[in-house]
Chain A
Amino acid sequence: MKATLALPSDDKRWRMVNATMRRHGYSSSALIEALHTVQQAFGYLDETALQYVAKSLRVPLSRVYGVATFYNHFMMKPGGTHTCVVCLGTACYIKGSPQILETLEKRLAIRKGQTTPDGKLSLMVAHCVGMCWLAPVVMLDDDVQAEATPAQAATKIQEWVSK
């Protein structure tokens, strides 16, 4: 087995990342699994993490960056304290979720995929959260807002952000 690299800092979360890589024998194929663990532990992937994973798995830096940005699940910036996900699955789409998204974008003055300047809220979209019978669906962290109208969703979010 390859010698393990020193952890980037004392932060205990790096041990989790290292454990995942060790479990896969520091094989280059463990790249995605390792990035999953980083995202779980830190919430997003920063340069330190990408460097650490690249060196531990002996994968080129550019490949690590290429993989990290290829997959939607990986975030390259920290997200907001709260996340609002507007479902753009087919059922939600035909039942009006684009209008909800438009309203929220206007009210929050950010576009989809962005975070409010105060760092409180990220506005995300999903292609189907798998709750089509509740369409259109808006998710506020783990809460499901079923059969939402644009106005309802906006009010709900305002309440929720001001908490």
Chain B
Amino acid sequence: MSGVVTLKINGIDVGAQENETILDVARENDIFIPTLCYLEGLSRIGACRLCLVEVKGISKLLPACATTVAEGMEVFTDTDRLRKYRRLIVEMLFTEGNHVCSVCVANGHCELQTLAQQHEIDYVSLPYLYPQRTVDASHERFVFDHNRCVLCTRCVRVCDEVEGAHTWDIRGRGIESGVITDLNQPWGTSVTCTSCGKCVQACPTGALFMKGKSVGEMVHSPSFLTFLAQMREAKK
């Protein structure tokens, strides 16, 4: 079994298992670190950069979700610098897609919206890029509105790692990238989709939702993932 280490987060002494990440330990101790691409039960990709923290003695900022703790580590999760960067990153997400909360199915239950509130973003200082994106409503039960996609790849990972279908992936690269179904075809024509709906539950925004939901009605509940992950761990 792994050993125990002690470290400081925001000046508070905390104990941890040596293979835990900074994010795990922070959450156990009710210390808030914002996340977006992270979802318990899925692989950790360190892509959204919202969980970046400062560690004393290391000049680079480190992703809390993908950095394991070490003895004597001094972590800072809420400095002015981090708040400034996080705010800008969230702002950029708003400019990258076409997010209109007032007409969104996830209004009130959206992680992007929550992030904006947490970072007190009452206006976006950067210009919107207004990309031309599509809505795929070809599936009989679900809809993918790409305008609201933040490319966190939670749907891609849950489909690959938990459901095992790998229906989703990312096309292209950079600002042009987007989530695709199979060979970039309408979702309803997918030969690999099992219609299990895990992707819909894993989505942080209103990009993936169930048909028939109206504004503010789409509540995602990805907590099933925790159970699935635990059960699979037990089976090994």
Contact = CB atoms under 8 A, between A and B. Distances in A.
Interface in B50-69: none
A133 interface: no
Given A50-B183, A51-B183, A66-B180, A61 B172 contact: no
B180 A65 contact: yes
Nearest to B160: A60
B170 interface: yes
B192 A61 contact: yes
Nearest to A47: B183
Interface in B153-179: 160, 165-173
A50 B183 CA distance: 8
B166 A62 contact: yes
Main secondary structure of the interface of A (DSSP, over half): helix
Interface in A27-84: 47, 50-51, 60-66, 69-70
Interface residues of B, number: 17
B172 A62 contact: no
B192 A69 contact: no
Nearest to B191: A61
A60 B183 contact: no
B223 interface: no
Contacts of B168: 62
B77 interface: no
Interface in B191-231: 191-192
A61 B173 contact: no
Contact of B173 (A50, A60, A70): A70
A145 B39 CA distance: 53
B171 A61 contact: no
B98 interface: no
A45 B160 CA distance: 24
B107 interface: no
Contacts of B20: none
A62 B173 contact: no
B182 interface: yes
A47 B192 CA distance: 16
Contacts of A64: 183
A87 B183 CA distance: 31
B183 A69 contact: no
B24 to A, nearest CB: 29
A61 B182 contact: yes
B138 interface: no
A60 B172 contact: no
Task: Select the residue from A61, A62, A70 with max chain B CB neighbours within 10 A.
Answer: A62
Given A60-B165, A62-B168, A62-B181, 11 more contacts: A60-B167, A61-B192, A62-B182, A63-B166, A64-B183, A65-B180, A65-B183, A65-B184, A66-B171, A66-B180, A69-B171
11 contacts: A60-B166, A61-B182, A61-B191, A61-B192, A62-B166, A62-B180, A62-B182, A63-B166, A65-B182, A66-B169, A66-B170
